[in-house]
């Protein structure tokens, strides 16, 4: 499995900033030719981002989608609209959607199904809160999120998705998990569960770590065999420093 670095811009950047960002990041395309780089701008910047990335190996993702394809759903966005603007990936179940916007596992399951139905690659996010970790419930919470999010989804589709393990307490806090903590959950829980779904016993799904990933800690994560890359928020917002982070990841990738 190759290295994957995904950028989640969250609610940042207008069109002008988007164009400037890709002008900057495209300078590093040759250097990063072996890395899968997926950038997830806000919806309003997707069109400009899509234009900027025409002919580029960098790929585009969206930060959310709705579970219906069309209709009277004010404020929602369909998979076809995302694809029309160049998106190939979509974040689903990000902790800010779960805990700030109140998305449930059932909502997330419907979104996963609609992403697959429309050939968008979901980046399915799971992660425990600090209280859950402290009470020793991390694995239980993660398993529950995985099973509910993937309910009634054919395991054959697992090769068309990415999972991101993002402990809620590590996101945007500057307090990343240790690589050991991440391995314990990714290897000991997520991949175990995904392997058990797979007909071969070996899941094809790449698992990323996310939560306060920076240039100086990404190497610790991606040097572990079970971690295929990272989902990066704050540290993805400047093209030059994001490029430095990707370079550090490339150096350490197992
Ligand atoms: P962070 O965000 O890197 O700013 O912690 C990660 C994420 O929310 O995906």
What is the pLDDT averaged over residues 229-252?
A: 98
Residues 14-29: tens digit of each pLDDT:
999 999 999 999 999 9
Decide: residue 23, CB within 10 A, 0-12 exposed, 13-18 middle, 19+ buried: exposed
Distances (CA, A) of 13 to 21, 41, 191, 223, 238: 9, 8, 34, 31, 11
Is the C-beta atom of 176 inside 6 A of ligand 1? no
Active site residue 166: yes
Check residue 254 and give its pLDDT.
75
Residues 169-210: tens digit of each pLDDT:
999 999 999 999 999 999 999 999 999 999 999 999 999 999
Ligand 1, atom 9, lies closest to the CA of: 233
| Residue 41 clears pLDDT 80, i.e. is over it | yes
Ligand 1: distance of its center to the CA of 84 in Å? 26
Ligand 1: distance of its center to the CA of 231 in Å? 7
Decide: residue 136, CB within 10 A, 0-12 exposed, 13-18 middle, 19+ buried: exposed
SS3 253: coil
Atom of ligand 1 nearest to the CA of 91: 9
Torsion sign, CA atoms 149, 153, 155, 161: negative
Ligand 1, atom 7, lies closest to the CA of: 233
Is the C-beta atom of 8 inside 6 A of ligand 1? yes
Residues 43-93: tens digit of each pLDDT:
999 999 999 999 999 999 999 999 999 999 999 999 999 999 999 999 999
């Amino acid at each position: 499995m190759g290295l994957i670095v995904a950028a989640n811009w969250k609610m940042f950047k207008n069109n002008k900033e988007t164009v400037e960002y890709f002008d900057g990041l495209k300078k590093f395309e040759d250097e990063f030719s072996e890395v899968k780089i997926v950038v997830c701008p806000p919806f309003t910047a997707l069109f400009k981002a899509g234009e900027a990335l025409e002919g580029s190996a960098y790929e585009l993702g969206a930060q959310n989608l709705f579970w219906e394809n069309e209709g009277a759903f004010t404020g929602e966005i369909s998979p076809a609209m995302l694809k029309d603007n160049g998106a190939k990936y979509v974040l689903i179940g990000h902790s800010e959607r779960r805990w700030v916007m109140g998305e449930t596992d059932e909502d997330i399951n419907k979104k996963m199904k609609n992403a697959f139905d429309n050939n968008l690659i979901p980046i399915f996010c799971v992660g425990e809160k600090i209280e859950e970790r402290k009470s020793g419930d991390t694995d239980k919470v993660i398993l529950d999120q995985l099973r509910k999010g993937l309910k009634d989804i054919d395991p054959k589709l697992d090769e068309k998705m990415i999972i991101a393990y993002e402990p809620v307490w590590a996101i945007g806090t500057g307090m990343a998990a240790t690589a050991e903590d991440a391995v314990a959950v990714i290897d000991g829980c997520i991949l175990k569960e995904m392997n058990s779904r797979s007909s071969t016993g070996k899941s094809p799904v790449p698992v990323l770590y996310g939560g306060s990933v920076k240039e100086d800690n990404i190497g610790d994560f991606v040097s572990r065999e079970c971690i295929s890359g990272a989902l990066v928020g704050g540290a993805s917002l400047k093209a030059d420093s994001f490029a430095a982070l990707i370079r550090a990841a490339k150096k350490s990738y197992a």
